[in-house]
Structures are given as structure tokens and as C-alpha cells.
Structure 1
Amino acid sequence: MPLRCRPFFLPREIAIVIITARGDAVPSEKMAPGPRFHLHLLVHAKNIQQKVSLAVDITDFDCCLHCHSDITTLQRKVEKVMPADSFYFSIIRNPVDMMDSIFIYYKSIPAFHKTSSLDDFLDWSSQNYNSSVPSNHYAHNILAFDFGFDNDVMSDDKELEERTNNSIAAIEQDFHLILILEYFEESVILLKYILCWSLDDVVSFKMNSRSQRTRSPLLPTTAEKIKRWNALDWRIYLHFNRSFWHKVDIVVGQDQMKVEVAQLRKIQAKLAITCLKEGGPVDPLQIKEARLKPFQYGEAVIQGYNLNPNMAAQTKIKCERLITPELQYTDLLYVRQFPELAAKHKKSKTAGKSQQMEITDLPRKLMKKKP
């Protein structure tokens, strides 16, 4: 399939596979196409059995959230419910920033909980890290792990180069496009060109951003330690960073990209004035509506948004969709797909149970009850 927008070549359906979507580990961006596209949601690669369909207009838009699986197994399971000409893309984050975020978000895992700082963990990683202990996979090459590869490899491993090449080859075989989080605006503009979308289709607000109160700049020496510790992730990231900019040169061009990034920022700034009471993200204690509060975990403070009051009904729907956290948004999708089952499930909840549910838990419970 050509990279340039060719409407008559476009696939009938699109699959987004969000890899390493772990709280603030990859801050998500809620994009605008939702109501204008036919959205199919494939939840958790291990249990892909059907699509959650939201009948709207124009085309088909497919999404696999929080997937982790052997990449070949993932492809096979997704292909069972997707047409042969589907378009697959994912997004990755710089492993240095990822590790910094994960250490805060998953501070309670065995590999981290006895360490006083990220440097402390990295300096004594041989003593702190045991790959056989549950949940410790978060602490080592999490990008490779979430793509389904063995993440237990060290920088001095003789097989590192071979495993890197094999991982890259497998990803390139199964994904048409890999986007880069650090260049999110450029990423969605490239996606816009390939899928024949407009700038309005890729407008977004950043979700799951971490408050500055739980951030501190990394020392260059710490960054180098992370690159050595997560050597496989770092090599995968470097490769797809280079390939991303190569695609930008071919499809968009550097000068045109700068023009469209400026245009996109202008549209998003205008939308923020319309939608957001404070004009930007706020800490969770400042969020007025509980349904708009993002899930909090670990030592991170994950920010969210307040809606402007007194908006027109259609404007409010658009704005609310852009700022609804992913757990609540996924619940809404399932209510629309399985209204009767969702109603039964709601009635069966005990008064003491939490109103929130893990993204992989709700689909499982609903599917078990499906006649």
C-alpha cells in the first residue's frame, strides 16, 4: 500500500495498536475522528474475539487498546476479525522518558519498591531486578515486552544485535506505520496524509499527563544508564525514530510539516478556549466531575480537565469526548455495544464496589455473560 494518500487505495478498516499504554508511561492523546468514523474497538490481544462497533459515518476505524501478546499471535487473532486490507499502526515513546515515568507510576513493584531513586535502582539493578518475579517486567525493556518480545536481555548480551534486528523485522512486517510520541503533532499529521484525513480529524488534548509536582529533570548520566539498562528498547526506538522522519520527508516534506504543525496548534488552542474551563490540564483534586477524573496509581499525579460551562449541546459532546479518561471512555463504548448486558452488570454491582473497572476486566465480564 502506498504511503501517500490515495483514496482508491485506502483500506476499508484501520487498526490502531497502542503499545505500552501504561498510565503516564505513554500519555495518550484523544483525537477528534471518533464521531465521524465507524469505530471498532479490539480490547486486549489475548482475548480478541469480536469488535465493539459504534455505527457512525464515513469509514471504519479500529483500535486495539493495551495489547500485549506474541506479535505473531497478536496478528493472527486480530486478523480473525479484521479485513485483509486493514491498516495497522502504533506509537512508541523514548525509553529514557518512559523509564522515568514508569519508576514513578509503578514504584510499588518488587524491582522498585526498596530503591530510593531511579539512579539507585539502575546502579544496583543486578540486585534489585529479578525477571521471574511478577510485575518486574515493567522495569526492563518494557517497549519490547509490550510488542511481545522477550525483554530479558542485557546491553552486553552477545545476542542483543540479532534480537534487535529480529524485533524490528517483526514489527515492520505487522505494522504499516510506527509513530513517535515525542513528535505527536508530526505523527498525526503524517497519519492524516496517509489516511486522507483533515487537520480537524487529528485535533487532540493530551491525556494522562503527569503533574509537574511529580516530575524532575533527569541527569544526563541517568539517561545514559537507562539506555544501557534498556538496550533493546533503545535500539528499537532509534530505528523507528529514523524511519519515521524518512517517511515524513517522503510523504509530507519538512517545510510543509512545519506549516501544518503550526496550523494544528492554532486549531487546538482555539478548541481549548472553547472546551476547557482553565484552558489546560489540572490536578485531579481540582477536577469537578468525578467521571472526568483519570485513574490515579503509584506516586504519579495524573492530570485531567474541567469542561467549560454553558456550551451548546453538540459542542459539549465533542469537548467531553476529547477529555474523558480512557477507562471511562472504554466503559461508554461497551455500554453502547452491549446495552442490556451493561445494565445487568450495573445492577449486579454491590454498593461497596468501585465504579471504575480495569480496561481488560469489563470486556471479559461482559463477554462471559453474552448469550
Structure 2
Amino acid sequence: MVAPTSVNLKWHSSRWPAVLIVGTLFMVGFVVQAFILRKGGFNFNQEHTFHILQNVFKVNRQSIPVPVRPKSGSPTGESQMQSSVGSVTSTATPLHKTSEERCQPKSHIVFLNTHQTEGRTIQNLLYRYGEDRGLTFALPKNRDIRFSYPERFEAQFVEGVDGKSANEFHILCNDMRFRKSEVIKVMPEDTFYFSILRHPVPLVQSLFMYSKAISIHPDCQFLDSLVEESLGNHTSPKDESGVTLNSLAFDFGFDNLVTAGDKDLEQRAAKVIADMERDFHLLLINEYFDESLVLLKHALCWSLEDVVTLRRSSRADLLRCSVLPDTAEDIKRYNTLDWKIYQHFNATFWHKVERVVGMEEMKREVSELRELQAKLTRSCLTGKVAPYQKNTSHGGDVPLGFNLNSYVKPEIKRNCQKLVTPELQYTYNLYNQQLSKKTASL
């Protein structure tokens, strides 16, 4: 007989028993799967069988390519080939890779610093993060701390922007009345937008407590009458101060002259909420400040240490001058747009917590965050409220809010100083740093 002309595979004699056993199992498996279990829940593992065969059938140490079924979520139209060493060629993201491993820290950020919502604390956090990493801030012109507030934001309000020419910055977080069409002129496309909301009743309380009206009438018994009088005066369409009437809506760039009696209230409120959802990736809640910081940490892909901060105010400040129940209801009625905004985003906040973090993980991280904050407080401070410090550059007094520990260790002193530096001084420091960098580059 003439030997066949096809390529002869050289098998090692010791492989034959394994070949026969595996081959028999392979055939039995397919028969069982095809005729008995095709309707049931048992899934015969063809890939595992192929892998066994692959390690048995070899030709001169060259592996036989074995087709691998695309994983769930992988492109079904692409061919995947696995060799004996286990390498896989695929454009799909490996399933074992966690979201944290894929997450990249965000450095293009816009924070709408709303009034009396603890926005200064968030701003300080962003200042410290950006300064430590050499990021560039979009700062107001003429060494101001506000972007021509209460005017709606314009790109030309930013230092270094001339006419239609605008450089892109990393972080914008100084006070402004929001206008997205102008903000995008100075911020990159991948910018993360967020802000913070507060319940209208404590918000109005806080606004009055830090206004001249309270300094004139330090007795808390005058607070209710002052609030009622001010709310009543804000029904005029000519008044757009935004100080007490729907101040949140005003800061977000909307018409604040909306009251509970307006016929088109529901339509206007729905439009405002829809625009806010479109323009902002995240809205924090003042009443759940620590939970908000944890959620922000996840959204920005930062570490827990990056969002550790010291709060400038507390609920005890409001308890000192509370309002009557009737006054509280009037505040919600007059500030009905703010009240609807708050109710909506307070609810969606918890949906986002559940989806992004999970309630159990949120509790764990909040506990860890508070431990870090307590440790920071013990290291940096000797007391919370400090005397007012005279501000010679702009006139008036600047409340520091903290007493810095004079015996703080040198290695952490700089960080402690930045934690307690007021907005005015910190903004000036950033001005000087960015100006010196610009001068050095010329």
C-alpha cells in the first residue's frame, strides 16, 4: 500500500490513553447535550472541553487555535482566538476589571457656589486639590472673588479672557450666576458640573442671620417679622436681588420671581428642573453633607482623603435664631420654586447614592470620612470659632471661623493653614501663583 500524502501528526505514545478517554467524553457530552439536556438548565461546558483537548492535541509544540464564545457584552461579530498560553484578543473591557480600576480622576470641574449652602467649604476643597496638583483656576478679573454677581456669567468676566478668545481652565468655582452657554467658552467639553442645594427654610434663616438686618436687630425675636416683611416686598417684578426669594433658582440663572400663586408654576418649575438635570452631573444636599462628599468622591474618581474638609457652619448656628412654624410655611410658599427644586433633587440624590455607591457602602465610607475629619480637627485646631480679622485690602472684617493650632507639626502645618484660609485670601494666593507662572513662561 502507498502511504497517504497528508501530513502525519506525530503523537507521543503516552498520549493515546488520554486521547481516547477525552475523545469519548467529548462525543458523549455532545450527544447528551443535543438529545437530552437541550431543554433543561444544565449547560455543557464546551469551552472547558476544548481547553482540555488543546493541551492534549499538539503538533511540534504548536498549539491548535480554539474558538472561544464571545463573553456577555463582547462584540459578537468579532472572532476571538485563544492559544495554549491563555492569551485572548478582544476589544471588550475585561469583565474582572472593576469600575474603580477603569475610573480616572477628573480635573476639569465647574462648581456653582450657591449662597449660604456650605459652598465655601466645597470651594476650599477644590482650591486645595487644584493647588496641590498645579491645576489652573478660572478666576474673576480685577482680583475679585465673584464673577460680576448678580449679573449672569460671561466668559469675559474671567481673568485672562479677552473678547472672543478664551483659554481653557481646569477648575471654575468662584461665585457666579450660572449661564452654561458662556461657561463652555472657557471650560473643556469633558468638564464635570456640580453644585449644592439647601432646604429653603434654613437657607433663608442663614441669609438673614448674616445680613445687616440681623446686626441691626441682634435679638432673635425680630427674625420672623423681618423675614415676613422681606418676603412680602419681593412680589414686585422689578426686584431681582435674589437675596431671599428663590435664591437657589436665581444662582442657577433662572427668573426668581415665582410664587405659589402663579398659574404657570408647575410648567416653569418642571422646565427649571429639566434644565438643571441637563446642565449638571451632580447636585449635593447640604443637609446630608458627609454623604454628599462621599458621592462627590465617587463621581470625581478621587480618594476619600481628597474630600476631607472642615465645615464652616453647623445646625447649631441656626438653632440660635429659629423661626416660627407659620414663618417656615410662608418661606416655602414664597420660595416655592426653590422648594420644588429641593424636593426633586433631594429624592434623586438618594437614588443616585443607591445606584453609584450603595447604602451599606455609603454608611461605611461616611464613618471613615468622619474619622478622618475628626483626626484632622484634632491636629489642626484648638477651637472652632475665631475672632474676626481686619481685612485691610477690601475693608470690613473677615470671619476666620477657626483657631489654628500653633503647635501643629511642621509637616502638616501647610495643609492646616490652607484648610482654614478664607475665600478672599485663598483667591488672592491663587492669583499670585498663576501670575508668577505666567510671568515665568514669558
TM-score range, shorter chain: 0.7 to 0.9
CA contact (8 A) 1:13 1:62 kept: yes
Q: What's the offset of the Cα at 1:196? A: 1.8
Residue number in structure 2 paired with 1:138 = 243
Q: Establish whether residue 237 from structure 1 lines up as the match of residue 342 from structure 2.
A: yes
Q: Establish whether residue 64 from structure 1 lines up as the match of residue 173 from structure 2.
A: yes
Q: Match for 1:271: what amino acid?
A: L
Residue number in structure 2 paired with 1:308 = 405
Residue number in structure 2 paired with 1:323 = 420
Q: What's the offset of the Cα at 1:130? A: 5.5
CA contact (8 A) 2:224 2:323 kept: no
Q: What's the offset of the Cα at 1:334? A: 0.5
Q: How well do the aligned residues superpose, as a CA RMSD in angstroms? A: 3.6
CA contact (8 A) 2:138 2:172 kept: yes
Pair 7,83 (structure 1): closer, same or farther in 2 beyond 3 Å: farther
Match of 2:108 among 11, 14, 17: 14
CA contact (8 A) 1:203 1:264 kept: yes
Structure 2 unaligned segments of length 5 or more: list them.
1-97, 140-146, 148-152, 162-168
Q: Match for 1:268: what amino acid?
A: Q
C-alpha distance in 2 between matches for 1:191 and 1:126:
34
Residue number in structure 1 paired with 2:137 = 41
Q: Establish whether residue 152 from structure 1 lines up as the match of residue 251 from structure 2.
A: no
Q: Kindly, what percent of the aligned residue pairs are identical?
A: 41
TM-score, normalisation: structure 1: 0.73
TM-score, normalisation: structure 2: 0.62
Describe how 1:36-115 pairs up with structure 2 within 5 A: 36-43=132-139, 44=147, 45-46=153-154, 47-49=156-158, 62-69=171-178, 74-108=179-213
Q: Establish whether residue 206 from structure 1 lines up as the match of residue 299 from structure 2.
A: no
Residue number in structure 1 paired with 2:164 = none
Pair 156,10 (structure 1): closer, same or farther in 2 beyond 3 Å: farther
Q: What's the offset of the Cα at 1:186? A: 0.5
Pair 295,272 (structure 1): closer, same or farther in 2 beyond 3 Å: farther
Alignment deviations for residues 66-94 of structure 1 (CA, whole Å, 9 cap, x no partner): 1104xxxx222221222211111111111
Match of 2:356 among 232, 239, 251: 251
Q: Establish whether residue 221 from structure 1 lines up as the match of residue 314 from structure 2.
A: no
Q: What's the offset of the Cα at 1:327? A: 1.1
- State the secondary structure of the residue aligned to 1:91: strand
**Does 244-253 or 99-108 show the bigger shift?**
99-108
Residue number in structure 2 paired with 1:335 = 432
Q: What's the offset of the Cα at 1:309? A: 1.6
How many residue pairs match? The answer is: 315
- State the secondary structure of the residue aligned to 1:197: coil
* Dislocated runs of 4+, deviation >6 Å: none
Quick check: which has more Rg, 1 or 2?
2
Q: What's the offset of the Cα at 1:216? A: 1.8
Match of 2:284 among 179, 198, 222: 179
Q: What's the offset of the Cα at 1:143? A: 0.5
C-alpha distance in 2 between matches for 1:169 and 1:213:
31
- State the secondary structure of the residue aligned to 2:205: helix
Pair 40,207 (structure 1): closer, same or farther in 2 beyond 3 Å: farther
Q: What's the offset of the Cα at 1:5? A: 5.0
C-alpha distance in 1 between matches for 2:437 and 2:238:
40
Alignment deviations for residues 314-364 of structure 1 (CA, whole Å, 9 cap, x no partner): 31110011110111111111111124999xxxxxxxxxxxxxxxxxxxxxx
Alignment deviations for residues 184-238 of structure 1 (CA, whole Å, 9 cap, x no partner): 1101101111222111111000126698499323333322111111000000011
Match of 1:284 among 387, 407, 412: 387
